[in-house]
Amino acid sequence: MPPAAAGEDHSLSPMKKDQLPIVYSASYDIGVSAMQRLHAFDLKKYSHVFNELVRRGLIKPEQVVKPDKVSQKDLASVHNEEYLKTWNDRKALAGIFEVPALAKMPAFVSRYLVIDPMLHQTGGSITAAELALQHGWAINLGGGFHHASAERGHGFCIVADITIAIKKLRQTHPEVKKIMIVDLDAHQGDGYERDFYNDPGVFILDFYNKYAFPNDLYARQRINIGEGLKPGTQDQEYLAKLADSLKRAPAEFKPDAIFYVAGTDILTGDPLGQLSVSPAGIIKRDEMVFDHALKGSIPIVMLFGGGYLKSNAGIIADSIENLDHKFGLLKKQPPQP
């Protein structure tokens, strides 16, 4: 049994009539204010995006779907017992989260401040996957922990939410056999690449800074269409390569669903991503991926992924607003199942 108790196993209830397939909980935010000084990540990014969407009048608080924490059963279906035991080791947790100060805290404090929010976000990824299948699209205002695999966590990722959500979706919907992962975070998605290494039913498109963490050469062999980008790559080159890759993918693989890791750490000035894509480039990138999915009638699940600048929340809100403008996502009443 894992040290951080997960929620009860549950089936997703249909969305209420006035809700949208946007998934969020106030429990997503990580840590406390003092922790912000210990890590470059905007630990409150999730609530910052939610509050900005509400402030702009794009959504109302009651329109979002609040997820449960990932169930014990779903968590254990992917993560092995040996790995889950490391959640009791404060030194191991400090390494996973790249915050040395956590090694001085009792493990239960780290579980409460960091792991529990990620368990809630993982529940959100599962919920978003189900909603996307029902309504054609869904956005989880969190998740995308693409460095975590069944056997390990690192890179500020402790729960393999992508693997868990895909496995859950396949279990509950046997007709869903082929999954495409579009990972446009600045870092290679080594976690799910290892988890699905021998699974031909998962097609992986991954763009990443080829010199940045994690530089996992073994996992990199699993990528179907990949671009190892040079530091400083800008909009024109980035978007041209993405357009070409999206055109090539359907000829090789017709997915039943797309999981999209929309990391904003590709932004100019990000200290870890080290690419140079502009805010306008990020907005266009997201539009291109959604256009590809919606034109092909492929359900798409959008997850946040990484992003290390305080400006990220505003850019993400800008992008969601653009998706609404281009595709009318937030103005359409979702069809009821």
Q: Give me 132's structure tokens.
A: 């996307």
- Nearest CA-CA partner of 299 in 184, 52, 134: 134
**Alpha-carbon gap, residue 127 to 168, rounded angstroms:** 10
- Is residue 21 a contact partner of residue 132, using CB atoms and an 8 Å limit? yes
120 annotated active-site: no
Task: Indicate which residue of 79, 120, 135, 147 is catalytic.
Answer: 147
Q: Give me 188's structure tokens.
A: 């290679």
- Is residue 267 a contact partner of residue 279, using CB atoms and an 8 Å limit? yes
Output the DSSP codes for 44-60.
THHHHHHHHHHHTTS--
Q: Give me 92's structure tokens.
A: 């191991």
Output the DSSP codes for 233-266.
-BHHHHHHHHHHHHHHHHHH---SEEEEE--STT
| Residues involved in catalysis | 147
